[in-house]
Amino acid sequence: MSAGRLVTVAVALGERGYDVLVGEGASDELASLLATRVPAARQAAVVTDESVAAAPWFARVDPGLPYDVHTVAPGERAKTVAGAEALCRAFARSGLTRHDVVVAVGGGVVTDLAGFAAASYHRGTAYCTVATSLLCQVDAGIGGKTGVDLPEGKNLMGAFWQPVGVLCDTALLESMPAREWASGRGEMAKYTFLGAPDLPDLALEEQVARCAALKAAMVGVDEREGGRRVLLNYGHTLAHALEAVALDADVDLRHGEAVAIGLVYAALLARRLGRIGDERVAFHREVVGRFGLSPCLPDDLAEVEKKELLSYMARDKKASHDLAFVLDGPRGVELVHGVAPEDALGALEELACT
């Protein structure tokens, strides 16, 4: 349903439920949202990154409360335990209480980091998300998964902590760099296989709203990823491994770019396991291509040791002392445990582009 020109997507979690507002001007609803959802708040902590803070529109962000701005470095390297500690210490110095609110203004890195800091500060302080990237609007900002990276892997420390609301202002995407568009489109490609086969044909606002609705539906029935929500990790097992290796090697690889590669890899692995055929693999490549993404490893990572990627994938949060992947199959996309290492390595060999 819609409220004025905005589309409202409900995340149905009872007392922890909230709305995702999608459309041009959604960020203008911030003060109203906080007044309704956090009426006892007397102060806000606005967390953003340096690039967002420099945008001309950032000065118009208005939580309707006195607030301090806490700025972090852009990029995945900001998502650390030390980064979360620094935010919490800054909250304490500014006098933020557990009755106040944290406002995350940015993309997925900012919302992951600020959300985790909010979940930790005073054992849980309310937070709200103003999603400024396509990736954050279609996926990362919704669902309450917060966290930071460890040297051993991505998102290995975190908490489920639902926001009080998510504002997806599509007008804020107009100045987004091309690589950030690619990152968001990688997540969109994932949703094509999770219930939105017509997604590439829709207008931008429809795409964002459809992705938000699909994620909200999964979160509503499986908040803590004990069942169906794990399907949202389609393409992510290899993607997270690639991101970890890229971070170590100082290679610029965006999350959605890695997911696009991971989707094609998952299709190749599913074919090796006899779950799908050649036509379905070709369809994965087609979808990735329609979103303007490449299924190939970046040149800087083409020579990475396959066993190194395998070790990262074995530490994935879906694993239970085995290799586990979300894979396509005759019943659709589902979680598959007990994948043999030789099959996982074989699919990596098939992924190489010549």
Amino acid in the structure at residue 82: A
Evaluate whether 231 touches 222 at the Cβ level (below 8 Å).
no
In angstroms, the CA 190 to CA 172 distance is 23
CB 196 within 8 A of CB 182: no
C-alpha–C-alpha distance, residues 293 and 184, integer Å: 11
Q: Which two tokens stand for residue 139?
A: 């996926």
User: CB of 245 within 8 A of CB of 304?
Assistant: yes
Confidence tier at 95 by pLDDT (50, 70, 90): very high
- Specify whether 179 is catalytic: no
Mean pLDDT of the chain: 94
Write down the catalytic residue from 240, 254, 271, 317.
240
Other residues' Cβ atoms within 10 Å of the Cβ of residue 320: 9
337 is a catalytic site residue? no
The pLDDT value given to residue 104: 98
Separation between Cα atoms, residue 5 and residue 8, nearest integer Å: 10
Look at the domain 234-351 and name its fold.
Dehydroquinate synthase-like, alpha domain (1.20.1090)
Q: How many residues in the chain?
A: 354
Active-site annotation holds for 145: yes
Q: Spot the catalytic one: 123, 279, 305, 321.
A: 123
How, if at all, do strands 166-168 and 18-22 pair? parallel
- Tokens read off for 238: 């290899």
Given CATH 3.40.50.1370, say whether it is the number of domain 2-221.
no
Q: How far apart are CA 206 and CA 220, in angstroms?
A: 21
What pTM, to 2 d.p., does this model score? Answer: 0.92
- Residue 1 has a pLDDT of 38
Using CB atoms within 10 Å of the CB of residue 40, give its burial: 0 to 12 exposed, 13 to 18 middle, 19+ buried. exposed
Mean pLDDT for 250-262 is 94
User: How high is the pLDDT of residue 353?
Assistant: 75
What residue ranges do the domains of the chain occupy? 2-221, 234-351
The structure tokens listed for 195 are: 């219930």
206 is catalytic: no
Structure confidence by residue, pLDDT tens digits, 134-151: 999 999 999 999 999 998
Look up 284 and say whether it is catalytic: no
215 is catalytic: yes
Whether 123 is catalytic is yes
